[in-house]
Amino acid sequence: MAKIGVMGAGTWGVALAKLLYDNHHQVTIWSATEKKIDELRQTHAQKNLPGFILPGDIKLTKELSECVSDKDILIMSVASAYTRSTAARLKNLIPNGQVIVAVAKGIEESSLMTQTEILEDTLCGVRACVLSGPSHAEEVSIGLPTSCVIGSRSKSLAENLAEVFSSQFFRAYTSPDVKGIELGGSLKNVIALAAGIADGLGYGDNAKAALITRGIVEITRLGTAMGCSPFTFYGLSGIGDLIVTCASMHSRNRRAGILIGKGYTYEEAMEEVQQVVEGVYSAKAALKLSQIYKIEMPIVEEVNQILFGGKSAKEAYLALMNRDLRDEHGDMQWEEV
């Protein structure tokens, strides 16, 4: 049995807390929003997780030190925009070599760091890992079958964490490509916004399939330029997560995109969804990375134009459709006849 502290009481944090509790681990949940802890204590429910009941034996605390002290594993499940500030509060609370699993998906706009890079930048000696894949909290929380991938530089640590998380309903694979896993998990949210916008415009299944397919091409181009394995992007944290986020109404990015396609601003869409829409925060970072590494990412460019450049959704999609014609795979050879 492992002692585990979960930082963040949003849907994903409490869903993972229940998974880990059901796997016979000792779990403590903390939230910077004290109201969330009060609500969980009173109702044992999470308003965005239908049918979810939090077991009474899971400890709930408003004190960060109580959540993280003397724990084998910490789960960083705060929204990605708050990872750095939360990590800074851990400096005098955790030992050197503490294992922390990042489960939020996002790239920091100012530094262009992934979640594990933020942890390593803020906390000296931390053993930062990542859990990612097609894993809506709504399904994990009620025990529907799910598969994810755990990324770590250490094979033994990744395998240990896979044992901790895995159950008859949750299967964890392992990978050493930490950055690739995090890029896939972050950038797919930008493509999911695009897919949702297409839905909001009423463009149908063909358009969405094209966005998913060309979206994974853009993500793979950037990821391989940054030194990641292309295989990662054809795996659970790449195409797997992209498909589920573009296709499901559980996806807050897709839901926000639908509203934007109908004419909402991204601020109005986020207010309507009432959850953090990570794709909005990752869009600028994705564009900056594409410029740094000189990678063509037209979908990412047009999403940024819709969100921040005043371009209408319809104009952006026309721009994508009217780009110069080209080979689908530029490295293939033609046989002249």
- Tell whether 169 and 20 lie within a shared domain: yes
Does the active-site annotation cover 36?
no
**Most distant pair of Cα atoms in the chain: their distance:** 75
Separation in Å, CA 221 to CA 173, 195, 261, 297: 24, 19, 27, 8
| 334 located within any domain | no
Instruction: Spell out the per-residue pLDDT of the chain, length 337, in tens.
Output: 999 999 999 999 999 999 999 999 999 999 999 999 999 999 999 888 988 999 999 999 999 999 999 999 999 999 999 999 999 999 999 999 999 999 999 999 999 999 999 999 999 999 999 999 999 999 999 999 999 999 999 999 999 999 999 999 999 999 999 999 999 999 999 999 999 999 999 999 999 999 999 999 999 999 999 999 999 999 999 999 999 999 988 889 999 999 999 999 999 999 898 877 888 889 999 999 999 999 999 999 999 999 999 999 999 999 999 999 999 988 888 988 7
Of 217, 178, 186, which is closest to residue 80 (Cα–Cα)?
186
Of 107, 166, 18, 25, which is closest to residue 286 (Cα–Cα)?
107
CA distance 214 to 98: 39
| 115 located within any domain | yes
How many structural domains compose the chain?
A: 2
| 327 located within any domain | no
- C-alpha angle 299-303-304 in degrees, rounded to nearest 5: 120
Assign 316 to helix, strand or coil.
Answer: helix
| 329 located within any domain | no
| 152 located within any domain | yes
Contact 208, 195 (CB under 8 A): yes
Q: Which pLDDT does position 129 carry in this prediction?
A: 98
- Tell whether 33 and 164 lie within a shared domain: yes
Residue with tokens 């659970």: 236
- Tell whether 81 and 63 lie within a shared domain: yes
CA distance 241 to 132: 8
- Tell whether 7 and 139 lie within a shared domain: yes
CA distance 309 to 301: 10
| 250 located within any domain | yes
CB atoms near residue 210 (< 10 Å): 16
CA distance 284 to 281: 7
Of 202, 9, 226, 39, which is closest to residue 103 (Cα–Cα)?
9
pTM of the model as a whole: 0.94
CB atoms near residue 38 (< 10 Å): 13
Q: What is the domain range of residue 255?
A: 186-321
CATH at 223: 1.10.1040.10
From the candidates 188, 208, 262, 314, which is the catalytic residue? Answer: 188
Could you tell me the two tokens for 207?
């358009």
